Amino acid sequence: MSGLSANVLYVLVGTVLFGISAGLLGTFVVLRRQALIGDALAHAALPGICLAFLLSGGMKHPVFFICGAVVTGLLGSLAMRAIVRQSRIKEDTALGLVLSVFFGVGILLLTYIQHQPFGNQSGIDRFLFGQAAAIVGRDLWLFGGIAGMVICAVMVMYKELKVLVFDPDFARSIGLPLSRIDMIVLVLTVLVVTAGLQSVGVVLMAAMLVTPAVAARQWTDRLGAMLGYSAVFGALASMSGTGLSTLAPHMPTGPWIVVCATAIFALSLVMAPHRGIAPRWWRHRQTSHRIHEENTLRTLYRLVEDGRGENVSIAMMQQYRAISLRQGIQILARLERRGFVIPIGDRAAWHLTSAGLREAERLVRRHRLWEVYLSRYLQLGPGAVHAGAEDIEHILTPELEARLEAVLQHPAVDPHARKIPYATGEER
């Protein structure tokens, strides 16, 4: 019993350490628009692992495997750069090419090994599909070491990394050793990817670099915070994925970790306060409601101004503004809640309250002041000024309005010869 729980603990600690380091490095990878580099590096590691196995004569020590994987991973990324720099092949093609051809060579070597007399239980598949359950105490030192290196590197080189991500030209101009920093990041990424092969496998490695980082991007615009979020998300995904996979026997850990990471991402995509889809939709809805309400208030004001009576029906409003009956009812109900109108009789007509009148005057004043401004300073004809004012009245701030009023010297009428209402209730 205690053996089992110790084993689960090893797996948990191992995957969490890996999740943290992948989350941290993933932030830089995603911000530099190289999201799929982890995918390529993971695939390019396979021939290295096989070669290490062959050269060491069948030794199965993970350090050999990792050395091999790091060598071919680096080779793959250098090949990618060389192809893009030396020919007209584009980046995405170079990436796919290196990924698939290196992997093909790896498969070739792997099957070659399997057909050799010593290769029957080579344990290489563990690197292919990920087998977090096989993490033992010895591996924890490795994961811990890599996580420690990543955290140290990020802390020590934070400023340099920031410049590298956001303004490489500036970094070059102030004489930072850009290629050396770039190389350090690459080596660290290769190390993390190689370690990750054991817990999530080749194909899902890309997710551990990309998904927590893009989820973190939803919550913040600051690099430091994004690093924090990303590391936490990576750890959280590893923890919950490992937990879920222990619920049933023979469940693969890697895919569950990725599914958890994707769930975190999906939540962030929808719910994150600023960039999230739901808050964005809500803000859009609020703005559109406000604009409709303000337009309706102005229409009510016009109807009163034109002497059509104090009590206004929706049919009368429709003569001034293209709204449907349903829309009209909804907007008036919202205005009623805000105390700007009151219904008369059987809700057939509506009456502006004094608060509503003040609000309407404010809007009409802005609208007409802007019309005056357009016609006086931009020499637009009376027919052309209305559309512009229709848009700007919703976003003019009181300060701008006061400036406008002063610049125009309190005009009495707008270009259509309508009176501009100055504050009636409030003293000036």
Partner 1 sequence: MTAALLIIGTGGLVAASCGLLGSFLILRRMSMLGDAISHAVLPGIALAFLLTQSRHPIPMLFGASTLGLVTAFCTEFLHRTGRLASDAAIGVTFTWLFAVGVIVISLFAGQIDLDQECVLYGEIAYVPWDTWIVGGRSLGPRALWIMGGVFCCDLAFVFLCYKELKVTTFDPDLARTLGISTRTFHYLLMGAVSMTTVAAFELVGAILVVAMLIAPGATAYLLTDRLGWLLLWSVAIGILSAAGGYGLAMMIDASIAGAMATVAGGFFVLALLGAPHHGIISRHLARRRSFGNGPPVT
Residues within the interface to partner 1 (CB under 8 A) = 30, 33-36, 38-39, 43, 83, 86-90, 92-93, 95-97, 99-112, 115, 125, 128-129, 202-204, 206-207, 209-211, 213-214, 248, 250-252, 254-256, 258-259, 262, 265, 269, 275, 277
Cβ(46)–Cβ(127) below 8 Å: yes
CB of 237 to partner 1, least distance (A): 11
Pairing of strands 311-312, 341-344: unpaired
What phi-psi label fits residue 419: left (phi over 0), alpha (psi between -120 and 50 degrees) or beta?
beta
SS3 of 135, please?
coil
Of the pair 116, 324, the CB lying nearest partner 1 is at 116
The residue (of 81 and 275) whose beta carbon lies closer to partner 1 is: 275
- What one-character-per-residue DSSP string does 381-425 give? -HHHHHHHHHHHTTT--HHHHHHHHHHTT--SB-TTSPBPPPPSS
Q: What is the DSSP string of 294-349?
A: HHHHHHHHHHHHTTS-SEE-HHHHHHHS---HHHHHHHHHHHHHTTSEEEETTTTE
The answer to whether the CB of 356 falls within 8 A of the CB of 296 is no
User: Between the CA of residue 23 and those of 38, 145, 301, what are the distances in Å?
Assistant: 12, 16, 57
CB 228 within 8 A of CB 215: no
Element at 352 (helix H, strand E): strand 349-352
Shortest spacing between CB 55 and partner 1, in angstroms: 16
SS3 content of the chain, % helix, strand, coil (to 5): 75, 5, 25
Q: For residues 186 and 364, which CB has a smaller minimum distance to partner 1 in the complex? A: 186
CB of 180 to partner 1, least distance (A): 25
Q: Which is nearer to partner 1, 128 or 335 (CB)?
A: 128
CB of 18 to partner 1, least distance (A): 15
Identify the residue whose tokens are 């628009």.
33
Instruction: Tell the smallest beta-carbon distance from residue 262 to partner 1 (Å).
Output: 4
CB of 65 to partner 1, least distance (A): 18
* Nearer to partner 1 (CB atom), residue 25 or residue 142: 25
Least distance CB 193 / partner 1 (angstroms): 13
Q: Of 204, 208, 73, whose CA–CA distance to 128 is shortest?
A: 204
CB of 68 or CB of 255, closer to partner 1:
255
Q: Which is nearer to partner 1, 14 or 252 (CB)?
A: 252
